[in-house]
A and B are shown apart, each in its own frame.
Chain A
Amino acid sequence: MNTLEITKDTPHNKLEEKAKKTQLSGSQAVLEALIAEGVDTIFGYPGGAIMPIYDALYDYNDRLKHILVRHEQGGIHAAQGYARTSGKTGVVFATSGPGATNLVTGLADAMIDSNPIVCVTGQVFAHLLGTDAFQETDVINITTPVTKWNYQVTDASEIPAALAKAFYIASTGRPGPVLIDITKNAQLQLFDYEGYTLCHHIRSYRPAPIIRKSYIEEAAKLINQAKKPFVLFGQGVILGKAEEEFKTFIEKTGIPAAWTIMGLSALPTDHPLNVGMLGMHGNYAPNVLTNECDVLIAIGMRFDDRVTGRLDKYAKQAKIIHLDIDPAEIDKNVKTTVPVWGNCKETLPLLTELVAETQHEEWLQKFRMLEQEEINTVITTELQPSEGEMTMGEVINILNELTQDDAVIVTDVGQHQMVACRYARFKQSKSNVTSGGLGTMGFGLPAAIGAWYGAPERTVVAIIGDGGIQMTIQELGTIMQFGAKVKILILNNQFLGMVRQWQQLFHDKRYSFVNITSPDYTTVAQGYHIPGNRIEDRSNLREALMEMLAHDGSYLLEVMVGRENNVFPMVPQGSSVSEIRLK
């Protein structure tokens, strides 16, 4: 800011020549870049090393909305939530040192879940780099393994190109988080601004591999010969904006399709070919039948170990077709018969064209039969218990009914996450926001704030455990200050439930440090001027949920659920998916 002032005060310097060119400070260039990239919302937290950018932001207030979070981790999870519901790139500001290191968990989360995020961090003056200056940390090296790309700017003139690259890399190909670290001198420095050019090409960067027709032909041949084909889909369908292409493909081929929690909501829940959730706490039928299908078609999913269970016993009988934009995913975990490289928005229509119109009624019937078994053993008692303690499932069930399957559901991590993913019903894509790959407790509340900014016209419900809420509970302050209309539903089982379930099943019920007490959440919410309620009795559940949803604004509802309820079915760790336990 000082430099700006000084030049203003000395107008006789090189008079005209200077006047012709637009001089901007590095900080202004950052904000111009954001505007040029179509950014409207920034999540952040200021500090000494990023003060010039915040100072410039003061003048951009009309064009850029800044949401002051209460912790940088909250900032990046909010940006992730924003990215997931809006389909746009989330932006985060943080200061150097502790500000930047507080982003690391969120970066790792965004990296593994392929969220497009651009973080701008302040850094100490360039001449102080490497001297252990106040609040200096080696942010670039700390964040290298958890970013798709990062870069340190030490000169203002580099800023437009660096940010253009950042947005391009974050949002293209397999998306991911990018971090730009800007030294304080570069933020302050004035330079001749020649406008902002969007980046469309980087010599060394191939966002998407070249599509090979021969593989698509081979894949089509396998699909046409298949008697028991089975589709597994993941977030790639959503990231590729390929929901329609995907639906057309499965409808033409009549292939049953099951989803990973990251792919959830890409296909409406009530679609006749939607056969449920894969993986450790997924549905019975898709897990069992994975080891019976003859052709397995994986679309935009990465065979995470929570999905596959024991790899040496995973779908050994099947020919495997894997559609993915990231060539490194192919063969990484599961050996592929035919790889189909590319964005599934492009590859699926090519494949659809070559496959025969089919119905696999008999095969589909198998899914229905096993589903019925699961309904009888697990689902009915979970969703419609007639007595005893409240279950997480019945809460979700009533929520579905009241929101008409049309809410954005954000979850934290634990039993409630698995229950919510299993039972929440969706009409639209981009409606499920969860921390899939990293399983980050504390994700839910801030991600819900971001999710609401990404889709402010929708009802956003954050479903969080009594453990996870306490990890980032300070973000209630952000909700209070900025009026994000987030419905917070705490499912309180008075335990770190998921860990307790494992202890019960695999550690002889030795409940070591999973007993967690909670504050009086409604009082806490009240302190933040957020209305709330707590219920312990089934007879109040529906009404309490109705009140929460009807309230115009944020609301906190705590529901006391069964202390030792378990999430079933379950594939025990180290077992094959077909050994899934119904109880």
Chain B
Amino acid sequence: MEKQEYTITLYAENTIGMISRIAIIFSRRKINIESLNTSPSEAHGIHRFTIVITESEEVVRKLCRQIEKQVEVLKAYYNTNDEVIWQEQALYKVPTNIVAEKAPIERLLREYGAHAVVIRNDYTVFETAGHREEIDKLTEALAEYNLIEFVRSARIAIIKDSEGFHKKLKEFEQAEPIEEVVENEYLDKQDKIFTM
């Protein structure tokens, strides 16, 4: 079966160690994670993971079943790029004098919908969001104008066809949810304990 990019969207309890639990499922099968984002979801106490990998559908389907086997995972979906709306964010740091002097830069930024976040004497930081190829192109172009620093975020994605998770969550909530357990309160006080 042919490999292509898949976006895995999974919902899990926000507990310590979740990332490593999930990561192990991939690393054990020698599958490289291309991008991973975690953030709170619309449901209380539940985190949303967005993971991008390039694999065949069969592998991705099996992976999602293994992910769902984890006690703390509520649901894992997988989608092709056509089935999601997705974005990555990028920040670019460029010398301010060059931005000011070179007109093509301004055009470039406008073309890619980038805008300034910080303007200082020495440098200016631009921000844009888009698909990876768009960001790649802008990066390439800016490289010619002394791009000082560049960073890109992990992919975030919304599944197009989803009345999805809310309905599922209600199913999960049928019976009373158990009380939340306090997680490692001592670890929050690390600065008082560690001397480094």
Q: Which residues of A contact B (CB under 8 A)?
A: 126-131, 140-141, 144-145, 148-149, 151-152, 154-155, 157-158, 161-162, 165, 169, 183, 199-205, 326-328, 331-332
Contact = CB atoms under 8 A, between A and B. Distances in A.
B37 to A, nearest CB: 20
Given A169-B71, A204-B13, A155 B182 contact: yes
Contacts of B193: 127-128, 131
Residue among B16, B181, B182, B194 with the most chain A CB within 10 A?
B181
- Pairs of residues from A and B, 5 with the lowest C-beta to C-beta distance, nearest first: A126-B186, A328-B65, A201-B175, A149-B71, A203-B177
Interface in B141-196: 172-173, 175-179, 181-182, 184-187, 189-190, 193-194
Q: Which of B61, B65, B176, B177 has the most CB of A within 10 A?
A: B65
B172 A203 contact: yes
A429 to B, nearest CB: 26
A161 B28 CA distance: 31
10 contacts: A126-B187, A129-B184, A145-B24, A148-B71, A154-B187, A162-B181, A201-B178, A203-B172, A204-B73, A328-B69
B62 interface: yes
Given A129-B187, A204-B13, A327 B71 contact: no
Given A144-B17, A203-B173, A154 B65 contact: no
A190 B73 CA distance: 33
A204 B17 contact: no
B186 A203 contact: no
Interface residues of B, number: 35
Which of B184, B189, B194 has the largest count of A CB atoms less than 10 A from its CB? B184
A131 B178 contact: no
Contacts of B28: 145
Interface of B: 12-13, 16-17, 20-21, 24, 28, 61-62, 65-66, 68-69, 71-74, 172-173, 175-179, 181-182, 184-187, 189-190, 193-194
Contacts of B189: 127
A129 B177 CA distance: 30
A85 to B, nearest CB: 27
Given A161-B178, A331-B62, 9 more contacts: A130-B187, A144-B20, A145-B28, A149-B71, A152-B184, A157-B182, A162-B181, A200-B175, A204-B12
A187 to B, nearest CB: 14
B62 A126 contact: no
Contacts of A130: 187, 190, 194
A204 B184 contact: no
Nearest to A128: B193
Given A144-B24, A326-B69, A328-B69, A204 B74 contact: yes
A538 B100 CA distance: 99
B184 A141 contact: no
Contacts of A203: 13, 74, 172-173, 177-178
Contact of B186 (A151, A154, A165, A205): A154
A200 B177 CA distance: 10
Contacts of A157: 182
B106 to A, nearest CB: 50
